[in-house]
């Protein structure tokens, strides 16, 4: 999430009531998750296991639960609860409407048709010659390109599935990101595409999605991908261009699949994959899998 204007370290520290390490006027441009951070971003960390990853990331401001040595050129915000304060910062700079206020700031391009039963949030942009079917839900800040088809019952911009356990209950990390649907995308019936926690979930130009597909927060899908029914993609994945995912493929969070890959039906992906064709619970190379099957069947 980018702030509307740069903020100062002391301003953010005062907002959340934290200590800080670094110059008072150290510039802050926004917030982001560890997978997506850029210089000028705040990233939060609340477990020693991940201190090094956060401190050595591209982020230049680390919201942390313990005062540690600050890397050169960076700053710290020292909080007793970074998760809570990350939410506080995000919701201070991005208002959460949750369909509780009337429609406003919606841009709809020439030739676009929207069924009257569709529900559209605030600050939404829809390009030219797009078609929105009945009972589609489009959340706040969603951006949809030209020549896009979104079929009935699909939901764009639901909350990220991102929680921590706190006092025996689940505490949500509030989503302030969005969804970007690029030009010439087709999305089938009853798909659910979650908005980013602090960044964008992206469906690349020319991609086609079948029915009943779940795409998690901050995942980026490349151009001209083909995704069949009941595929589930967790958050923060990166799918290259022209990737084919057949029915009921499941992809764990944070994994990358190179452009041109084919993932056959019911395959589970729990690691990064180079370009190739894969099958099976742990995404085996398809040719290797066939050779293994031949050997097993020839055993006497």
The string of pLDDT tens digits covering residues 218-236 is 999 999 999 999 999 999 9
Residues 182-197 have a mean pLDDT of 98
Residues 1-11 have a mean pLDDT of 96
Residues 271-279 have a mean pLDDT of 97
Residue 270: predicted pLDDT: 96
Active site residue 217: yes
Q: 32-40, long-range: CB within 8 Å, 24+ apart, which pairs?
A: 32/1, 32/59, 32/198, 32/199, 33/197, 33/198, 33/199, 33/218, 33/236, 34/59, 35/218, 35/236, 35/254, 36/196, 36/198, 36/199, 36/218, 36/236, 40/6
146, 185 Cβ separation under 8 angstroms? no
Greater model confidence, 295 or 137: 137
Greater model confidence, 98 or 253: 253
Residue 97: predicted pLDDT: 87
pLDDT at 101 over 80: no
Catalytic position from the list 4, 35, 115, 217: 217
Residue 300: predicted pLDDT: 60
Taking only the tens place, the pLDDT of each residue in 48-93 is 999 999 999 999 999 999 999 999 999 999 999 999 999 999 999 9
């Amino acid at each position: 999430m980018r702030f509307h204007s740069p903020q100062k370290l002391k301003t953010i520290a005062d907002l959340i009531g934290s200590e800080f390490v670094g110059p008072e006027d150290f510039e802050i441009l926004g917030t982001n998750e560890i997978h997506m951070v850029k210089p000028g971003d705040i990233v939060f960390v609340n477990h020693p296991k991940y201190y090094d990853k956060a401190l050595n990331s591209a982020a230049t401001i680390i919201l942390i639960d313990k005062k540690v040595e600050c890397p050169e050129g960076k700053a710290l915000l020292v909080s007793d609860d970074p998760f809570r304060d990350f939410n506080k910062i995000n919701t201070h700079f991005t208002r959460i409407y949750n369909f509780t206020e009337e429609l406003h700031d919606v841009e709809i391009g020439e030739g676009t048709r929207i069924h009257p039963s569709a529900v559209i949030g605030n600050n939404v942009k829809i390009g030219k010659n797009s078609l929105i079917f009945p009972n589609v839900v489009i959340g706040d800040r969603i951006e949809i390109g030209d020549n896009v088809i979104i079929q009935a019952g699909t939901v764009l911009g639901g909350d990220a599935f991102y929680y921590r356990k706190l006092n025996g209950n689940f505490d949500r990390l509030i989503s302030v990101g969005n969804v970007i649907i690029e030009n010439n995308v087709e999305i089938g019936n009853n798909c659910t595409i979650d908005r980013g926690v602090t960044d964008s979930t992206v469906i690349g130009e020319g991609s086609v999605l079948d029915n009943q597909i779940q795409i998690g927060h901050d995942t980026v899908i490349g151009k001209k991908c083909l995704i069949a029914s009941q595929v589930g993609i967790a958050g923060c994945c990166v799918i290259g261009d022209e990737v084919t995912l057949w029915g009921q493929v499941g992809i764990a969070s944070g994994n990358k699949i190179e452009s041109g890959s084919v993932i056959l039906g019911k395959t589970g992906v729990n690691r990064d994959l180079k370009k190739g064709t894969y099958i099976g619970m742990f995404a085996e190379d398809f040719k290797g899998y066939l050779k293994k099957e031949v050997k097993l069947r020839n055993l006497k």
